[in-house]
Chain A
Amino acid sequence: MTPNVAQSTALPPDPSKAVDPATVPLRERLASQLQRRGAPAVLVLVVAIASVNSSTFPTWGNISTILVGNNFVWLLALGMTFVIITGGIDLSVGSMYALGGVLGAYGAQHSGSLMALLLPLAVGAAWGTMQGLLVARAAMAPFIVTLAGLLGARGLMQAISNEGGTTYLVPKNSFFASLGSGTWVPLIILAVLFALGALLLARTRFGATLTAMGGNENAAVLMGLPVARAKVLVYMLSGTLAAAAGALGAARLQSGVTTIGVGYELTAIASVVIGGTLLTGGSGSVGGTLSGVLLLGVIHNLIDSNFSQYGSAFTDTVNGGFLAVVVLLQTLLRRTQHLS
């Protein structure tokens, strides 16, 4: 028995690998596959249908709009994936995105590109660490800690921008501005960060610890895993990524927009959930989240180009309905696998 247990903790989290696959009923194996590969499958399907039916959809211009048009907001979902896998939640990322943008533009305007990058990253990391410490050491609910973080970070952003009265501009032709402009540089940054995130979650001891503590925190503590440290690190990672996303977004928009970011945390959570990561923690992947953000991006793009007369309200309604259907499906799948 003992080697078996050790093996299941050291390996990446995969319920079907923990037991001999042959003994798992077909129905459960199908459900597990659908849970993890449902979002990519639907994404491929939607893209295929859209490409056949529309001549404007499969053009490079349109695809690059989907990929980089949302000013690095996808990075919020990347950070959120790590938090949600531990069974937590981070509501502060929308405010942190705005704060990172204002700090980045402030740094770029006052002391150059290096400061424009370092300032948001440092503040994001510090803010995330503070939230992580409250969650891990003071045992406070992540929901409420990061809700306070949402208010506090937006307050800090408004204080820095003189209540939104001062707009900091990113100097054109600076190195910092070039990070956000065009298509290829932002695309490479996104790809590298998502690839690093996927490796971190699936191939490292840290990633395995996160999944283990999301599955059963008490068991993870008893196994001697550094649960408290991992929690702090996860919120630090999410805060840093959100601030970095905001800074890069400011580089793209060439200014620190103070009204940006409201409600972005909800879209991030929705993307993660649609990507097949369980909100209860313990199961999920960065690849799933990537499918989730792409799927929402494609749907948004299709609605914008086909039903533009209804405006963004229609997109919101569809997104809400879509999220409801996805979570209902996931609950069914999870129950088939006896995960809940």
Chain B
Amino acid sequence: MSSITWGRATLDRARIRHVLQEYGVYAALLLLFLVAVTLNTSFLSVGNMRAQLLQVTPVLVVALGMALVIGTEGIDLSVGAVIALAAAIVPLYLGYGFPGMLVVVLLAGAASGAVSGTMVAFARVQPIVATLALMIGLRGLANIINGNAGKPVTDSTVAALGTGNLLGIPVMTWVAAGGVALVGLLVRRTTFGRQLVAIGDNRQASRLAGLPVRRVLVTVYVISGVLAALAGVMLVGYSAESDPSTVGLNYELSAITAVVVGGTPLTGGRVRVLGTVAGALFMQLISAVLQQHNIHQSYQQIIEAAIICFAVYAAQERGTR
């Protein structure tokens, strides 16, 4: 038995797989970017870059919260509905000025997250149903608040958040970059981050080890709700109107896709913040390239579906069992 050769061979394959799992999404992103630029040099134009950033940023903000939730082996289907709720609240409280409105909107997001978090942490309801109930209910509530109609939002500060520039880069992208840094630090450098990952890895063991499982879980869903509400304000600013029946539709799917393509396993126990950023950018770039080459929406969706499947399959840890 040439066990050494066998051992080295598996080691090498394992190492290649490991490298691919860790850096594959960045390599794919870079490759796709080069392809996009080669096919169409105007892709690099300031106008196009700006348009792409404005589209991807709200998804990225939502995906950051989703990455934390998925890290605890949960899922948050309510984010799209929270966006709608936030959008419905924006015109109601603009009279108190932008800061006052923002506080109310973020509190609403936090409250929604607290409800799903409490159901998940204390009542032990599965995350998918707990947040499904909110997903169905909150969009209905948002439509009731707005009287089943869209409202124009002309406030200049909201518009600046949605469409404005700072040093040549959209304001909302700066905000999102701040969010990425904060969430990254939260996961890597804080006790809370360690606890979150431990709970996602093994909830039972974490509880027995004395970690504050329930508090961490509720906090994670609150963060997700707050970030979704923030994305809601961004989207209202971007479109200059508040229409709860359409705003944020399917954002839960885009956010989950970004997280999963970014290499965060759905089984929890790991959060990849930069991977999520790359995942969101990758999906945006794919749809931009397909659009610019006049590929129909239908084929775009099929291609996206195939990418999701491939990304998950590639990210699965094998050979460890």
Contacts and interface: CB of A to CB of B under 8 A. Distances in A.
B298 A163 contact: yes
Contacts of B313: 134, 138, 140
A321 B119 CA distance: 13
Interface in A226-251: none
B128 interface: yes
B125 A331 contact: yes
Contacts of A47: none
A18 interface: no
A324 B296 CA distance: 39
B181 interface: no
B130 interface: yes
A151 B302 CA distance: 6
Contacts of A152: 301-302, 305-306
Contact of A269 (B75, B132, B308): B132
B123 interface: yes
Contact of B253 (A147, A155, A270, A331): A147
Interface string B116-152: 0001000111101110111111111111100010000
A319 B298 contact: no
Contact of B144 (A149, A154, A314, A327): A314
Nearest to A330: B125
A167 to B, nearest CB: 15
Nearest to B253: A147
B52 interface: no
A139 interface: yes
A159 B302 contact: yes
Interface in A132-169: 134, 138-141, 143-145, 147-152, 154-159, 163
A319 to B, nearest CB: 5
Contacts of B124: 331, 335, 340
Given A148-B306, A152-B302, A155-B298, A327 B125 contact: yes
Given A139-B316, A314-B144, A317-B141, A324 B305 contact: no
Contact of B136 (A140, A156, A316, A335): A316
Contacts, number: 144
Contacts of B300: 155
Given A143-B75, A331-B125, A155 B137 contact: no
Interface string A305-340: 000001111111111110110011001100100001
Contacts of A159: 296, 298-299, 302
B309 interface: yes
B256 interface: yes
A155 B299 contact: yes
A179 interface: no
Given A140-B309, A151-B305, 17 more contacts: A140-B312, A143-B75, A144-B309, A147-B253, A147-B256, A147-B257, A152-B305, A155-B298, A155-B300, A156-B302, A270-B133, A279-B128, A313-B140, A313-B144, A316-B143, A323-B133, A328-B119
Interface of B: 75, 119, 123-126, 128-130, 132-144, 148, 253, 256-257, 260, 266-267, 296-302, 304-306, 308-309, 312-313, 316
